[in-house]
Amino acid sequence: MPTLTRDVVIVGAGPSGLTAATELAKAGLSVAVLEARDRVGGRTWTGTVDGAMLEIGGQWVSPDQSALYATLDALGLKTYERYRTGDSVYIAPDGTRTVYSGDTFPVSEHTRTEMDRLIAILDQLTTEIGAEEPWAHPRAQELDTVSFRQWLAGLSDDEEARDNISLFVAGGMLTKPAHAFSVLQAVLMAASAGSFSNLVNEDFILDRRVIGGMQQVSHGLAEALGDDVFLNSPVRTVRWGADGVTVLADGDLRVDARRVVLAVPPNLYTRVSFDPPLPRRQHQMHQHQSLGLVIKVHAVYETPFWREEGLSGTGFSAAEVVQEVYDNTNHGDTRGTLVGFVSDAKADAMFELPPVERKTRILESIGRFLGPKATEPVVYYESDWGSEEWTRGAYAASFDLGGLHRYGRDQRSPVGAIHFSCSDIASAGYQHVDGAIRMGQRTAGDIVAALH
């Protein structure tokens, strides 16, 4: 059995694990990164499907994501703006399609007023509570024990307004039905992006993309780490104590180290056997953190035909199978690409269908936004992260109802020589690549402080 000896062993070569390894190496510590898959990048994956470059996983960058921007700069990676010229499309609950400009949905005045009022309440809560320790707020328990759906129902009698507000945080971010997470969880999601207003502003939250693809962040970091990154090495066992660990992976790989960083989403911690077992608190907490589910749909066309019709490619509808659609054309590409999202229970329903029927239903939905040409792409692909053994959902993990105030304060705490790092437990940048990087830096900082 090959045995390595390192200061720190990192489990998972996503952006968080690779950032932690990079920072630890910079501080003069020796590292080994063990990755289950045959590639780095985790939930970022820039693939080629039928000749089209697709961002199968994470892709967008927003202006406040300074940790990600700093990494992009360090790696010499450039970004470009998402195409947004022209009008957007809104489909109302009764199926009426309206082309509109600006960032206000074309809804009745009553619905508009109600949406503005709900956004203002959520902005206020977000400012008060923040992303760092939402569980510590005096109202944490109250806001964590009511579902987002129920809370909205108590605030407004306007169903369209409520559904549109839910669209941004349930379908658009946590990818769970609005009855399945709390108000506090929604507030954390918004606070991690700066405000609820930022979350509902697609020009902010989906501002730019990385030229050549987001996975290059992980490729660049891994390249600098060289032979210290081990692919095809799923970690099966962590033997741990206060002062050291032994990590066993497939391929008879064994690493003895002073610390281990688990840089995998919380739903995968239980795939590793811990010896001795983790404490009761972690056993319980990890059962309350689960990934959402969303199908990211990619459709490529010979041209971005919607642009000729004065449309930006952006569309929203809480009532549609595809709740959001955007122009996702690659930098410098003459072909046009659309990306759409089918979230939570709608994704369940689509996955019940045979693939051909699912494709038809999804493309018909995109067609209702952008016209019949949208139903005839030259390349079609569904990102299905729920089927990926080493992820099991998309985009990221959140607590079930009541879990955030009950357990949140312990999610980042090390246990003996075991540290935790991933976007799913970040504050700023929560659920995003930026948060993965921030957590990698934070975890590395904690370890350097402990070991030096």
Nearer to ligand FDA, 58 or 213 (CB): 58
Enumerate residues 6-35 that contact ligand FDA by CB under 6 A.
11-17, 34-35
Crossing angle for the helix pair 159-166 and 109-129, nearest 10 degrees?
40
| Closer CB to ligand FDA, 21 or 107, in the complex | 21
Kindly give, in sequence order, each residue whose CB lies less than 8 Å from that of residue 50, ignoring residues fewer than 6 positions away.
378, 379, 381
Tell the burial category of 428 from Cβ atoms under 10 Å away from its Cβ (0-12, 13-18, 19+): buried
Q: Based on the shown chain and the rule CB under 6 A, indicate whether residue 423 belongs to the binding site for ligand FDA.
A: yes
Q: Which parts of 52-111 interact with ligand FDA (CB under 6 A)?
A: 57-60
The amino acid sitting at 18 is L
Residues numbered 250 to 289 that lie near ligand FDA (CB under 6 A) are: 263-265, 268, 271-272
Q: Which is nearer to ligand FDA, 156 or 398 (CB)?
A: 398
Q: 245 or 436, CB closer to ligand FDA?
A: 436
Which amino acid, one-letter code, is at 241? G
Q: Which of 383, 411, 427, 443 binds ligand FDA (CB under 6 A)?
A: 383
**Closer residue to ligand FDA in complex, CB, 107/169:** 169
Contact between residue 419 and residue 260 where contact means Cβ atoms under 8 Å apart:
yes
Find the shortest distance in angstroms from Cβ 265 to ligand FDA: 5
Q: Are 255 and 4 in contact (CB under 8 A)?
A: yes
**Interface characters, 39-58, with ligand FDA (x: CB under 6 A):** ---xxx------------xx
CA-to-CA separations, 76 to 220, 290, 318, 436, in angstroms, rounded: 9, 35, 39, 19
Residue pointed to by tokens 């992820």: 391
Question: For ligand FDA, which residue of 21, 394, 404, 417 counts as binding (CB under 6 A)?
Answer: 394
Binders in 189-248 for ligand FDA, by CB under 6 A? 234-235
Binding flag, residue 391, ligand FDA (CB under 6 A): yes
Residue with smaller CB distance to ligand FDA, 126 or 398? 398
Residue 431 amino acid letter: Q
| Residue ranges in 403-422 that form contacts with ligand FDA under rule CB under 6 A | 422
Q: Does 296 bind ligand FDA (CB under 6 A)?
A: yes
- Which residue, 137 or 296, is less far from ligand FDA as judged by CB? 296
- What is the 3-class SS of 14-63, one letter each residue? CHHHHHHHHHHHHCCCCEEEECCCCCCCCCCCEEEECCEEEECCCCEECC
Judge contact between 44 and 214, C-beta under 8 A.
Answer: yes
Of the residues 395, 399, 407, 420, which one makes contact with ligand FDA according to CB under 6 A? 395
Determine if residue 175 is left, alpha or beta; phi over 0 gives left, psi from -120 to 50 gives alpha, anything else beta: left
In this structure, are residues 21 and 439 in contact, taking their beta carbons and an 8 Å threshold? no
343 binds ligand FDA (CB under 6 A): no
Q: Is 290 in the site for ligand FDA (CB under 6 A)?
A: no
Q: How far is the CB of 54 from ligand FDA (least distance, A)?
A: 11
79-81 vs 208-210, strand pairing mode:
antiparallel
Shortest Å, Cβ 429 to ligand FDA: 7
Number of residues in contact with ligand FDA, rule: CB under 6 A?
41
| 134, 166 contact by CB (below 8 A) | no
**The two three-digit tokens of residue 136, written as one number:** 């510590």
Q: Which CB sits closer to ligand FDA, 122 or 263?
A: 263
- HSE at residue 446, side-chain half, CA atoms within 13 A, is 19
Rg of the chain, C-alpha, whole Å: 22
Considering beta carbons, is residue 286 or 296 the nearer one to ligand FDA?
Answer: 296
CB of 183 to ligand FDA, least distance (A): 22
Closest CB to ligand FDA among residues 57, 134 = 57
Least distance to ligand FDA from the beta carbon of 130, Å? 20
User: Degrees (nearest 5) of the Cα angle 45, 47, 52?
Assistant: 145
Strand partners for 26: none
Angle at alpha carbon of residue 232, lines to 229 and 234, rounded to 5°:
95
Binding site for ligand FDA (CB under 6 A): 11-17, 34-37, 42-44, 57-60, 234-235, 263-265, 268, 271-272, 296, 383, 385, 390-391, 394-396, 422-423, 431-434, 436
